[in-house]
Amino acid sequence: MQPSRMFDRRKQNSLLRGCGKIREQKGQALIEAALTMPLLLLFLVGAIEIARAVFAGIEVSNAARAGVQYGTQSSAYVADTTGIQNAAAADAPDITLGTTTVSHSCICSNGAASTCLPTDCSGASNETILTVQTQATFDPGFYLPGISHTFTLHGQAVQKVLQ
C-alpha cells in the first residue's frame, strides 16, 4: 500500500505546484491588455480616418458624375455651367465642394478635330464631349507628425453629349 500513497503524494504535489503558477500569473492578462490597448486604439482611429477619406473621395467623384449627367442630357444643357455646378453640389451633401470646373470640346464623328462650329465636320456629325472636374478639401480629425493636415480630393467625369 505504500507505493500507492507515494503516487498520490506526487500527484498532489504536482497539482499544488500548478496552482502556484496560476497564482503568479493572476494579473498578467490585465497587464497585457493595458500594454496593447493604445496600439489597438491607434489602429481603430486609423481605420476610421481611412474610411472617412475614402467616403469623401467617393462623394467628390460621384458629384462630378452627377454634374456631367446633368450637362449631357441634351445639347441645350452643355452651356448651363451654373446648373451643372448645382447638380454636382446637390449630389455631395456630406462634403463641401471646392472648385467645380466645367469644359466641353468637340470632335467630328469621323475622328477629325473640331472647334465646335457646325461647319467643321463636312460629311460627319459634330460630337460634343463634356468634362466636369470637382475638388474638395478633406481635413482628418487625427493628425500624425510629418503628414499634411489637409488633403485635396479630385473627381472627374467625361461623357459625350446626347444629340
pLDDT value at residue 10 = 64
Is this structure's pTM higher than 0.85? no
Check whether 104 has a pLDDT greater than 60: yes
Query: Which residue range is the domain that position 151 belongs to?
Result: 2-160
- Split into its structural domains, the chain has a count of 1
pLDDT value at residue 83 = 92
Picking from 107, 101, 104, 75, the residue whose alpha carbon sits closest to that of residue 88 is 101
Is residue 134 within 8 A of residue 158, CB to CB? The reply is no
- Give mean pLDDT, residues 3-27: 61
Check whether 115 has a pLDDT greater than 70: yes
CA atoms within 13 A on the CB side of 106: 16
Q: How many residues does the chain have?
A: 163
pLDDT value at residue 117 = 82
- Give mean pLDDT, residues 123-132: 88
Digit-coded pLDDT (tens) for 65-103? 999 999 998 888 888 899 999 999 999 988 889 999 999
More confident residue, 117 or 83: 83
